[in-house]
Amino acid sequence: MARSFHQLILCAALAAVVSSAFAEPAAPEKKKRKDFEATPSPEFANVRKALDALTPDQRKRFQENFLRWANLPPEEKKALRDREEVRKKFMEQEVQAAIQETGLTLDGERRIQFIQRYGEERKKIEEQLRKEMQEKRRPLVKDLLARLKAEFSSPASAVAPADPTLAPAAQ
Q: What letter represents residue 5's amino acid?
A: F
Query: What was the pLDDT predicted at 155?
Result: 78
* Residue 16 pLDDT level (bands cut at 50, 70, 90): very low
Whether residue 166 lies inside any domain: the answer is no
Instruction: Give the closest residue to 148 by CA, choosing from 165, 160, 163.
Output: 160
Clarify whether residues 56 and 121 are in a common domain.
Answer: no
Segments forming the whole domain that contains residue 124: 105-152
Is the pTM above the cut of 0.75? no
Average pLDDT over residues 102-117: 93
- Quick one: CA dihedral 155, 156, 159, 160, positive or negative? negative
Of residues 16 and 111, which shows the higher confidence score?
111
Neighbour tally for 51: CB within 10 Å: 19
Clarify whether residues 64 and 127 are in a common domain.
Answer: no
Report the alpha-carbon distance of residue 16 to residue 45 in Å, rounded.
12
Number of independent structural domains in the chain = 2
Whether residue 49 lies inside any domain: the answer is yes
Whether residue 16 lies inside any domain: the answer is yes
